[in-house]
Structure formats: C-alpha cells, structure tokens
C-alpha cells in the first residue's frame, strides 16, 4: 500500500512538472510569436499598439523645400476591425511653414481575394516627375536618401476612390479614380498655345496589375498568403486623364511598366535586373512626366556632394537635369556573397551598372524650367561596400558615355550607403 501511494505521488509530481513545463513552453512560444510579430511590424514601418499602428514614415523627414518635416500618422489594425480600416496622417514643414494631411478609410469586400474599397482626401506635396504603381507593396526605409536633396515639388489636393483585388493568387489588380488640384511650388507655366496654366486640375483613372508567375501561395484561414517569392515579376499600369470631367484641364494617357528578376547563383551570389519604362501622350504637364530617379546635388566638389546613396536611383545624375515623356531605365546589381569575417560582422560588395534613355516631344511647352533630353543614352557604373559599421557602408559610382561631363570630378559620386535589417 505504501509503495502504491509513493508511486501515485511520484506520478502526480511528474504530471505537475510536465504540465508546468508545457505551460512554460507555451508562454515562451507565445512571447516568441509576439516578439516576431512586433519586429515584423517595426520592419514594415509600424509601431503596433492594441487598436492602432503608428506609421513611422511620418515621424521625421528632411527635404530642400520643407526643411524638417515631422508629424504623426497611422492605421487601425485587426483588433479594431477586420473588415474596416481608418488611416491618416498630419505633418508640418518648418521651412515652408505649412501643414499637410491625409485622411481615409477602407472596407473589405472579400477576404479570400483580399478585396478592399478605399476612399481618401489628401493635401500634401509630391515630387515633380515621380510616379508610383498602385500594386506596389509597402516599402519602408528608416530614412529616404533621395528625399534629402529634392527641391522640385508640387502641392496637390486629391480626392480618391480606389479598389484592390487579387484576381488570382499570382495576379494582383488595383484601380483608382482621382481628382486633383495641382499647384507647383516653383515658377512653372504649362503653355498649350492659346492657353497657359500656372496651376491646374487633373481628373484621371488608373488601372494597375502585378503578375508574379513563379511565386507560390497557399490558402490560410480562407486567405491567400505568399509562401515563396518567385521571379521574374511584372507590373503594368495605364492612366487616363480626361478634360472637362470634374473640371479636368487636360487629356493625356500614360503606360508604365516594371519588371524585376533575381537569380541566386550556386556560389550564393545574387544577380538582380530591374527594368522600368513609361510613355505619356497628350497634354501632359511636367508634374506628371518622368525623371529617371536622379540622386546627385549640384555642388562643385565631390565632398560637397557627399550624401547617402539610394536603392534604385542614378547616383551621378543631378536633380532636375533630365525630364522625359518616354523613357526606359535598366539597372543591374550583382550581390557578392557576404565576407564571413565574424558571426556578426559580414560586409557585402555589390557591383552596379545603370542605363537610361528617353526623349520629350515639345519641351518648349514647359516654361521657366531648364532640363535636358536622355535621347543619347545615360550610363553609370560602380560598386557598394555595405554594412561596414552599424548598417553604414560606402558607394562609388562613375558617369560615362554620351553624357560624360568635361570636368572629371563632376562624373563621380562618392556616398554613404545604409542597410539595416530588423
């Protein structure tokens, strides 16, 4: 009897210890999941709270027009609602002494196809000649290198209605209708012969689709999730601006294309090729045309131009040097296997070559601005040595070919790089 009681006691102790171990394991696993989620959100540029995620993109920025730009923004999360989101931000520029803001909301129409209907009202600045694809995923940088030196902005007050829909697991689509009042912050006049415009209205519709034929997906909780990013990926976008609809001033059409391919070599090197192209036809103001993502400031010496290199920008091309109504850029990057110096210190060399070509019909329409054509083809090559210290590295790029400048130093861009992975 005594032996049986001792045995039962030992079994009870063992079960209690096993239960405690299981609970401790579950607590550790839950803490690990929470930590992983927090770091993922932080890497995407969000500081998560219970019902609202603060958007870190609006905390502090700097550019040549606004000077320091600071504010707050964010979006409601799943704890607030799984089928409805409210988003917005407000910022203040110290140099232009002006507030900018945006407010919007989204409604989920289909969970499986991740379909959302959105509305927004925005009063803010946009870089002249810049364009974006509606289907691009969110991309966050701790700071944006190109933004530091941009000085050519236009202010816009835009009302937008849009919808995003996953037509197929490998095909994402987005459509948008918007009405904008555009006011360039610089002395610009768009001359159409009998009519000249200092500020103007743009009424346009945009349709975009992104095709990822080699990505892999699975259905999780009645929603498609990406389990493997495959390459190449292709994005096509069409924009139509209509005159006399919602007071629109111009008729024009734009077609934009982007293709990205990455190849992993057996020696763990990675090659990446990015092609971006666009064409605009009709009465298109400079604000809605194209630059080639320049990232070089107009200073006399190399050290005066020393700044931070971008990820897809032309480092030796000066800001506002070129504008086009049709253009193509090719960028090739070859990432060498990181140098295995220690477990935590692994700098990496990247070989880079970029090419741009473009042209513009009727450049005389765009008055009070001076720019060149890209019709001869622009080339630059160089390298980056990344993650040398606290995420910082160095970049060296050289400009050559048809647009090589007479002064040797003016063809060189020597800059910092910044790569930080959470």
Q: What is the per-residue pLDDT across 247-263, written as a single tens digit (0 to 9) for each?
A: 999 999 999 999 999 99
| Domains in the chain: ranges and CATH | 111-418 (2.40.160)
User: What global pTM score does this model have?
Assistant: 0.87
Give the distance between the most distant pair of CA atoms in the chain: 111
18-27, 142-151, 296-305, 393-402: range with lowest mean pLDDT: 18-27
Residue 333: what pLDDT?
A: 97
Q: Where does the pLDDT of residue 28 fall: very low under 50, low under 70, confident under 90, or very high at 90 and above?
A: low
Q: What is the mean pLDDT of residues 37-42?
A: 64
Residue 343: what pLDDT?
A: 85
Q: What is the 3-state secondary structure (H, E, C) of 247-308?
A: CCCCCEEEEEEEEEEEEECCCCCEEEEEEEEEEEEECCCHHHCECCCEEECCCCCCCCCCCE
pLDDT tens for residues 111-127?
A: 888 899 999 999 999 99
* CA–CA dist 182, 198 (Å, integer): 9
**pLDDT over 90 at 315, yes or no:** yes
For Cα atoms 108, 109, 115, give the angle at the middle one, nearest 5 degrees. Answer: 80
* DSSP letter, residue 287: G
CA dihedral (241, 242, 248, 250) in degrees, to 10, reads 70
31-45, 222-236, 305-319: range with lowest mean pLDDT: 31-45
* CA–CA dist 33, 203 (Å, integer): 46
Q: Where does the pLDDT of residue 226 fall: very low under 50, low under 70, confident under 90, or very high at 90 and above?
A: confident
Q: Where does the pLDDT of residue 420 fall: very low under 50, low under 70, confident under 90, or very high at 90 and above?
A: low
CA 222, 223, 228, 234 torsion: positive or negative?
Answer: positive
Place of tokens 């513009």: 360
* CA–CA dist 66, 81 (Å, integer): 35
Q: Where does the pLDDT of residue 265 fall: very low under 50, low under 70, confident under 90, or very high at 90 and above?
A: very high
Between these two residues, 413 and 149, which has the higher pLDDT value? 413
**pLDDT over 50 at 378, yes or no:** yes
* DSSP letter, residue 363: G
pLDDT tens for residues 5-20?
A: 444 444 444 434 444 5
* CA–CA dist 242, 250 (Å, integer): 6
Q: What is the mean pLDDT of residues 337-351?
A: 92
Residue 43: what pLDDT?
A: 64
Taking Cα atoms as reference points, which of 333, 345, 288, 317 lies closest to residue 128? 288
* CA–CA dist 365, 367 (Å, integer): 6
Q: Per DSSP, which regions of 336-391 are E strands?
A: 348-359, 366-367, 378-389
CA 24, 27, 29, 31 torsion: positive or negative?
Answer: negative
* CA–CA dist 252, 263 (Å, integer): 37
Q: What is the mean pLDDT of residues 218-237?
A: 86
């Amino acid at each position: 009897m005594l032996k049986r009681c001792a045995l039962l006691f030992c079994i009870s102790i063992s079960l209690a210890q096993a239960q405690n171990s299981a609970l401790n394991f579950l607590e550790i696993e839950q803490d690990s999941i929470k930590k992983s989620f927090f770091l993922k959100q932080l890497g995407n540029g969000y500081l998560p709270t219970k019902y609202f995620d603060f958007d870190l993109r609006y905390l502090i920025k700097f550019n040549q027009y606004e000077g320091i730009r600071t504010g707050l923004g964010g979006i409601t999360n799943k704890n607030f609602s799984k089928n409805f989101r409210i988003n917005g931000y407000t910022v203040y520029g110290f140099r232009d002494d002006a507030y900018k803001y945006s407010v919007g909301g989204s409604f989920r129409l289909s969970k499986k196809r991740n379909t959302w209907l959105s509305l927004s009202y925005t009063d803010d600045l946009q870089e002249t000649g810049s364009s974006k694809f509606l289907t691009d995923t969110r991309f966050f940088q701790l700071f944006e290198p190109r933004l530091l030196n941009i000085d050519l902005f236009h202010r816009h007050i835009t009302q937008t209605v849009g919808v995003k829909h996953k037509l197929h697991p490998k095909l994402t689509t987005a459509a948008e209708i918007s009405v904008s009042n555009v006011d360039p912050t610089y002395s610009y006049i768009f001359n159409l012969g009998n009519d000249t415009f200092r500020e103007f209205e743009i009424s346009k519709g945009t349709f975009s689709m992104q095709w990822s034929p080699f990505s892999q997906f699975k259905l999780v909780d009645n929603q498609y999730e990406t389990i493997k990013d495959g390459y190449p990926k292709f994005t096509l976008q069409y924009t139509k601006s209509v005159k006399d609809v919602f007071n629109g001033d111009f008729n024009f059409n734009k077609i934009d294309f982007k293709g990205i391919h990455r190849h992993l070599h057996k020696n763990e090197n990675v090659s990446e090729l990015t092609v971006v192209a666009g064409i605009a036809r009709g009465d298109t103001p400079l604000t809605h045309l194209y630059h080639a993502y320049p990232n070089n400031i107009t200073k006399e010496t190399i050290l005066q131009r020393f700044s931070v290199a971008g990820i897809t920008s032309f480092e030796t091309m000066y800001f506002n040097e070129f504008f086009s109504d049709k253009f193509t850029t090719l960028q090739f990057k070859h990432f060498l296997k990181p140098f295995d110096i220690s477990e935590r210190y692994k700098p990496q060399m990247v070989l880079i070559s970029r090419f741009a070509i473009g042209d513009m019909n009727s450049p005389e329409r765009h008055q009070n601005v001076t720019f060149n054509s890209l019709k001869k083809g622009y080339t630059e090559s160089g390298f980056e040595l990344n993650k040398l210290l606290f995420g910082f590295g160095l970049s060296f790029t050289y400009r050559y070919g048809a647009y090589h400048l007479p002064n040797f130093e003016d063809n060189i861009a020597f800059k910092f790089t910044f790569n930080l992975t959470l």
